[in-house]
């Protein structure tokens, strides 16, 4: 974690912070995510969060630009995202509304209260449906620093390929190639993306990116948003290994999400569930790829503790459709082994 002393405070930053009634003195580093961004809480009459990312990935539009442009768009559509008070592109910083420290993940770890947890997940799914439908209106794919849509090439590279390269080969050290799994992946992607309209897609809508402030959920880390199918973000939330919802809870909440969708859109439940299953499988592969990369390459060992749960979820999903993905089943059951 970068300390405040190593961040080059500038006159422009100091002026912007002072204008909001806060100070850079005793800036408090906040726990970050898997990226290279740095966050600091700035104290004052009202606290602020400083996002510092001087070398963001991207080209003409970089990751910081996407955060700013998509954040402003979502807020204009009523999305519960943090207010962005200032953005200095050249210096790579933003001043954001402070959403506190209580994520949905943190709330789930408190003494178990079934009613309270259900309340938060119902609210999360309400927020998701609103983002997907309202966020689609006026969304410009040119705001995306990475890719404008979650399509077949994206899933093949960022979900399937990530799983093989970063998890099977990089983390486990196995000699398993994309070619060996290609028939299974072709089948998976054809069923995950059968065609149809795209909606706003957060891409990482999970418990660490949902914060509780003043009794309602707020959404962060939307800079990777793009267009895509409805079921992906729902899967990201429900199969999230940070919380580890039981299969029964996942099923119940998926039905609740479907009821919300049907109030807004023409949805065939059976068709949706078929696509959802395959999108959830894609997301599960991505999760394992990310945990493998963050652990082995980035040296963020704390992500390794979630790998067994993610492997267990993958195994369970494959067992629901025995024979549909035979080589992937063989890798998970035989090579990875029973304990993950």
Share of the chain above pLDDT 70, in %: 95
Residue 34 — very low, low, confident or very high, per pLDDT cuts 50/70/90? low
Angle formed at CA 274 by CA 333 and CA 206, multiple of 5 degrees: 75
Query: Which ranges in the chain are annotated with CATH 3.90.1200.10?
Result: 104-336
In Å, what is the CA distance from 283 to each residue of 110, 114, 222, 243, 313? Answer: 26, 26, 17, 15, 11
Between 246 and 338, residue with greater pLDDT = 246
Q: How far apart are CA 196 and CA 171, in angstroms?
A: 36
Q: Give the mean pLDDT of 166-190.
A: 97
Question: Which ranges of the chain does DSSP label H, i.e. alpha helix?
Answer: 11-19, 63-76, 104-108, 114-134, 152-155, 162, 178-192, 231-238, 247-262, 269-296, 307-320, 326-330
Is residue 340 pLDDT above 50, yes or no?
no
Residue 337 — very low, low, confident or very high, per pLDDT cuts 50/70/90? low
Query: Which ranges in the chain are annotated with CATH 3.30.200.20?
Result: 4-97
Instruction: Mention the CATH class of domain 4-97.
Output: alpha beta
Q: What is the pLDDT of residue 112?
A: 72
In Å, what is the CA distance from 201 to each residue of 48, 82, 105, 232? Answer: 27, 18, 21, 8
104-336 has which CATH code?
3.90.1200.10
Q: Give the mean pLDDT of 18-38.
A: 88
């Amino acid at each position: 974690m970068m300390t405040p002393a190593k961040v080059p405070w500038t006159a422009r930053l100091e002026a912007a912070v002072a204008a909001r009634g806060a100070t850079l003195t005793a800036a408090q580093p906040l726990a970050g995510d898997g990226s290279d961004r740095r966050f600091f809480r700035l104290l004052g009459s009202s606290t602020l969060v400083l996002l510092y990312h001087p070398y963001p990935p991207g080209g003409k539009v970089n990751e910081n630009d996407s955060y700013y442009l998509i954040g402003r768009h979502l807020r204009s559509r009523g999305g519960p995202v943090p207010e962005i008070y200032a953005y200095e592109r050249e210096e790579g910083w933003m001043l954001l509304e402070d959403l506190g420290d209580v994520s949905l993940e943190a709330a789930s770890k408190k003494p178990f209260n079934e009613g309270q947890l259900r309340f938060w997940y119902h609210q999360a799914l309400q927020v998701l449906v609103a983002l997907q439908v309202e966020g689609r209106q006026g969304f410009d794919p040119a705001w995306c620093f990475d890719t404008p849509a979650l399509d077949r090439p994206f899933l093949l590279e960022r979900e399937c390929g990530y799983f093989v390269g970063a998890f099977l080969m990089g983390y486990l050290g196995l000699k398993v190639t994309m070619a060996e799994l290609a028939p299974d992946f072709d089948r998976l992607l054809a069923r995950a993306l059968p065609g149809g309209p795209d909606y706003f897609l957060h891409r990482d809508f999970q418990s660490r990116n949902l914060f509780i402030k003043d009794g309602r959920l707020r959404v962060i880390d939307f800079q990777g948003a793009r267009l895509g199918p409805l079921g992906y973000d729902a899967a990201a939330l429900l199969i999230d290994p940070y919380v580890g919802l039981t299969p029964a809870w996942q099923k119940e909440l998926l039905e609740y999400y479907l009821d919300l969708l049907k109030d807004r859109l023409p949805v065939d439940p059976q068709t949706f569930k078929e696509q959802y299953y395959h999108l959830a499988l894609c997301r599960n592969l991505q999760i394992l790829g990310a945990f493998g990369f963050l652990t082995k390459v980035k040296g963020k060992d704390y992500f390794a503790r979630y790998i067994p749960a993610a492997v267990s979820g993958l195994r369970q999903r494959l067992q629901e459709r025995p024979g549909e993905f035979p080589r992937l089943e063989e890798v998970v059951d035989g090579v990875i082994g029973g304990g993950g």
